[in-house]
Amino acid sequence: MKRFSRFSRLTSMAVLLGLIVAALTAFAACGGDDDDDDNDGDTTEATPMAKAGDLKIYDGWARTTTNAVSAAYFTVKNSGLEDTLVKATTNITTTVQLHEVITEGASSKMQEKAGGFPVPANGELTLKPGGYHVMLMDLKGELKEGDTVELELEFAKAGKVKLTLPVKPGPGMAGMGMGMNESMTPGAGMHGMATPAPTAMK
């Protein structure tokens, strides 16, 4: 009987230890899940300025005025099928064009982008100084740092979306892809920009 009683006590202790180990293992697993949640939070995407269908728009801004001319820049991230930015309008002027910068030899020039700006499927479109940009011309007043610009974009598939862009200092005409010599060339378009062909926009 004594041997049986001792065996029973040993068995009970073994079961108890097993339960303790199981409880500690479960607690550690819960702690690991919390760590994973924290890591997931670190990769949270920034809040977009605006959305239109599968498109999200980030980091928008407009340049302070240079000779009654400004430009707007932003990034469009697309989680769906290919789209195209076909038009832009604003409350500060009726002369708005979608421009690209073309390099010819040692010089560069701006011109209207035929067909608009493509937004690749599951990719992004970036507008920046020296590249694609929304050109704002014949401005009614000066744009100073701290001002805002209301801009409406129109995409072929996603439709229209409105942005409020902060105005910040930016590069001059040279930094946008045009040298001063070119901007003063006789026969150039308004404000020194190359005049686009009549059939450039569809």
Tokens, residue 151:
């801009």
Residues 97 and 181 placed together within one structural domain of the fold: yes
Q: Identify the pLDDT of residue 164.
A: 97
With cut-offs at 50, 70 and 90, classify the pLDDT of residue 199.
very low
Name the region of 177 (left: φ>0; alpha: ψ -120 to 50; beta: rest).
left
C-alpha span between 123 and 83 (Å, rounded) = 10
Cα–Cα dist 75/55, whole Å? 10
Residue 176: domain span:
50-185
In a domain, 131, yes or no: yes
State the Cα–Cα distance between residues 157 and 69, nearest whole angstrom.
29
Give 24-68 pLDDT, tens digit per residue: 555 555 544 444 444 454 556 689 999 999 999 999 999 999 789
Q: Is residue 164 part of a domain?
A: yes
Is 137 among the domain residues? yes
Say whether pTM exceeds 0.75: no
| CATH classification of the domain holding 56 | 2.60.40.1890
133 domain-assigned:
yes
Please say whether the beta carbons of 85 and 98 come within 8 A: yes
With 90 as the cut, is the pLDDT of residue 163 above it? yes
Count of helices and strands (H, E) across the chain: 2, 11
Both 118 and 163 in one domain: the answer is yes
Above 90 in pLDDT, residue 143?
yes
Domain total of the chain: 2
Residue 110 lies in a domain: yes
Q: Are strands 83-90 and 148-155 parallel, antiparallel or unpaired?
A: antiparallel
pLDDT, residue 32, reads 46
Strand partners, 100: 111
Give 112-142 pLDDT, tens digit per residue: 999 999 999 999 999 999 999 999 999 988 9
Residue 192 counted as domain residue: no
Do 98 and 164 sit in the same domain of this protein?
Answer: yes
